[in-house]
Amino acid sequence: MEIKLLVLPPLGTNCYLVKTGENSGVVIDPADKGKDVIAAAAEFGMKIEKILLTHGHFDHTGGVNEIKDATDAKVYIHESDECMLTDGNKALAYFCPSKKFEEKQADVILKDGDSIEQDGVIFRVMHTPGHSAGSVCFLVETAEENYMFAGDTIFRDSIGRSDGYSGDYIVQKETLEKLKNIEKDYIILSGHGEATTLEEEKRYNPFLR
């Protein structure tokens, strides 16, 4: 498995190309510039087979339609955030009024504990509500490393805000306790900012200590 990071507008969102096979893989959170994401994937030697969304906010989904139209990749999102794909207000698109919000369609609705397979690589769905009701982390365990594609659930030394549609700080605290109780270490690849590890965040993140 190989991972390529793209930092995309309009809010500097981390989009991840995850190459799972010889020439195929998935994209996680294509924030914008779908054609650029497709070009980057081609340069990476990867056809996009699936579009995995950690949550439904506009700054994580803006490139979905271009990618889906060009590749026929299926769109995966948690059931509680599906509504954000068709409602710009719920998706917080008003933060960037100059960019037109486009409705999108989910193909696969996710629940906690679901597994998504691509080329033998398993992405396990962990429901982590708080930032939004349908936020999830995608957990991938390999022989070399464990990865957590965390969206805006947790950042290096911080967490996602919880004051948008369906955000809930009380629920978010329960999610953080859930993360604290995970015994394995994971490389955390968040929706914004630098990579970190779960052990580092347990030690230094003020919201997990």
3-class secondary structure, 78: strand
The question of whether 59 is a catalytic residue gets the answer yes
Which of 194, 166, 151 has its CA nearest to residue 54? Answer: 151
CB contact set of 207 (below 8 Å; sequence gap of 6+)? 154, 158, 159, 176
Q: DSSP secondary structure string, 141-165?
A: E-SS-EEEEEETSEETTEE----ST
**Which residue carries 């990579």 as its tokens?**
195
3-class secondary structure, 96: coil
From 59, 119, 157, 163, the catalytic residue:
59
For residue 73, give the amino acid letter.
A
What's the rounded Cα separation, in Å, for the pair 8 and 11? 7
The catalytic residue positions are 59
